[in-house]
Amino acid sequence: MKFLGKLITALLVVIFVALIAAYFLLQTRWGATQVSSWVNEKSDYNFSFEKMSHRLASPTHLTLTKVTFGRKGQPATLVAQNIDIDLSSRQFSEPMHFDKILLQNGTLNLSPNAAPLPFQADMLQLNDMALNSPNTAWDLRAQRVNGGVTPWQPQPGKVLGNTADIQFSAGSMTLNGVPATNVLLQGAINNQQVTLSTIGADMARGSLTGNARRLADGSWQIGSLRLNDIRLQTEKSIADFLAPLATVPSLKIDSLEVTDARLEGKDWAVTDLDLSLRNLTLADGGWQSDDGRLSMNASDFINGDLHLNDPIVNIDFSPQAATLRQFTSRWERGMVRASGVWLRNEKKLALDELVFAGLEYTLPEDWKARWMKPLPEWVHSVTIKKLSANRNLVIDIDPAFPFQFTALDGTANNLEVVRNSQWGIWSGNATLNASSATFNRVDVRRPSISLNATDNQISITELSAFAGEGMLEATGAISQAPQRNAAINLRGRSVPVNVLQQWGWPALPLEGNGNLQLSVTGSLAAQAALKPTVNGTLQATSSDGKQVQQTMQNGDVPGA
């Protein structure tokens, strides 16, 4: 028995000595290398640390230095200068669950492909760390991150776990290409739902504050968001800049405030923007709202060749409509004003009023192509209950047939200018007049036109202008059918007998003033030449009594 007792005592002494030796060896570089090699050989992970530190005065505290952890063949999930681990009695039942883990001076990758961390803690604390989330919907890169996760229970593809309270601050951060500094985030993770109770950041020389929630289906609910003094420049077009709003299933905005913002992108810019948006949800390429409101004003808004000065917009939203209470802006050295309603189900814009005053507007070179091009599917119809034009200058610089209206005035009622997403004059009546005009280098005075449109045709009830010492008067009609058959009857009294030469009729063998009688028909069908369809007759009598009668067939006058 004495021998057995001595043997057990000797074994205990050996084991104790071995433990003491292992304890000290683990705190050496050699010991750290051996442990790292053993883990790498026995698992699918790459793990290494340079040194382990432990003090008997703090028996529950352990420190690892220069740690790297990740899946073999993949970028490291965790790199840290120091990892401080607080142990507890829980290690006896759950060896890989710690009381607290502190990561210092390193990088933590949040990619779904990152290796799942095999340990947990009641609290994960970050001190001067970097966070990256490449290959995810949120391209996140943050530096000088401090904060914590409570509790920390990482899962495969979810470094922060399924359920936790979070609080982070970052010296700098870039999210989906948008940089920010002095970032503060507080909130909670509940499975697929993320609640951010506090959001704060300095970005684009301004500031951002608010709160938001991300639901399990990827939808977002913004409780409040305020942007102050933003100065943002991007290389994206305005469509690409706003595209992320359409990538989420839905975006619900309770309150959005923008104050004194300046944004600039490819072919667009807005300066001194103030915006207030309430109770609006963007979903499925459209919007939903029970009682929403948008108020917006700016110093300048530029989008391509459109430049608005001092635009003001006020819109009220309801389940079925968006009511444009006010739109006013200075445009092309004049003013434009409108009010009306957008009807969602009918895809119809019904303007109660549209006013143009004092414009000096040169038509775009491709305005005819734009007129023929169908509008987007969501614009099915546009009507104008009352249109007014006052003292406008309108110019077309097309070298084939330039024209200009000076001091253009007009009124129109119940106009339908878009039907089935196609521009036109589909119904209503209008009267336009100007102090002077030029049509392909022919000057006329006091041009005037009155027309009435129905489903079948556009009737020109009055068309007149002073030319030379006399007057031109005409009536006509244009069919609403796709062929656009047109007929015009024109009479001129004491006008230059060759006034029609610049408008397509060959020169007459007459001189001076005289009387004209013209009757022509043609087709204004889209994507088809006009000249081959024109047929008609012209009778001209000069002031000295000479007469000429000509007939045009398929755009040509034989013998002319």
Please list, in sequence order, all residues whose beta carbon lies within 8 angstroms of the beta carbon of residue 463, skipping any fewer than 6 positions away. 448, 449, 450, 473, 474, 475, 476
Measured over the CA atoms of residue 30, residue 33, residue 35 and residue 38, the dihedral's sign is negative
- Please report, for residues 421, 463, 503, the alpha-carbon distance to residue 458 in angstroms, rounded to integers and kept in the order given: 19, 13, 21
For the chain, counts of helices (H) and of strands (E): 4, 36
Question: What is the C-alpha to C-alpha distance for residues 519 and 490, in angstroms, rounded to an integer?
Answer: 6
Q: Is the pLDDT of residue 25 over 60?
A: no
58-72, 168-182, 466-480 — which is least confidently predicted?
58-72
And the tokens for 133? 């989330």
Residues 531-536, mean pLDDT to the nearest whole number: 93
Residues 174-194, mean pLDDT to the nearest whole number: 88
The pLDDT value given to residue 75 = 76
Closest CA to 452 of 472, 426, 473, 474: 426
The pLDDT value given to residue 39 = 65
Question: What is the C-alpha to C-alpha distance for residues 89 and 99, in angstroms, rounded to an integer?
Answer: 9
CB 319 within 8 A of CB 294: no
CB 430 within 8 A of CB 414: no
And the tokens for 232? 């943002």
Question: What is the C-alpha to C-alpha distance for residues 113 and 141, in angstroms, rounded to an integer?
Answer: 16
CB 436 within 8 A of CB 443: yes
This prediction has a pTM of 0.82
Residues written for the chain: 560
Residues 198-211, mean pLDDT to the nearest whole number: 93
176-180, 293-297, 479-483, 552-556 — which is least confidently predicted?
176-180
CB 479 within 8 A of CB 491: no
Q: pLDDT digit string (tens) for 96-123?
A: 788 888 989 998 887 766 656 677 888 9
Closest CA to 460 of 472, 452, 468: 452
In DSSP notation, 228-280 reads: ES-EEE-SS-HHHHHGGGGTSSEEEEEEEEEEEEEEEETTEEEEEEEEEEEEE
Q: Across the chain, what does the average pLDDT equal?
A: 87
Question: What is the C-alpha to C-alpha distance for residues 155 and 149, in angstroms, rounded to an integer?
Answer: 14
Q: Which residue has the tokens 């023929």?
A: 372
CB 123 within 8 A of CB 102: no
Total Cβ atoms within 10 A of residue 408: 22
- Please report, for residues 246, 251, 286, 550, the alpha-carbon distance to residue 243 in angstroms, rounded to integers and kept in the order given: 6, 13, 13, 60
What crossing angle do the helices spanning 2-26 and 29-42 adopt, rounded to 10°? Answer: 100
The pLDDT value given to residue 177 = 75
And the tokens for 162? 């399924």
Q: pLDDT digit string (tens) for 271-325?
A: 999 999 999 998 887 888 988 999 999 999 999 989 999 999 999 999 999 999 9
Question: What is the C-alpha to C-alpha distance for residues 191 and 78, in angstroms, rounded to an integer?
Answer: 23
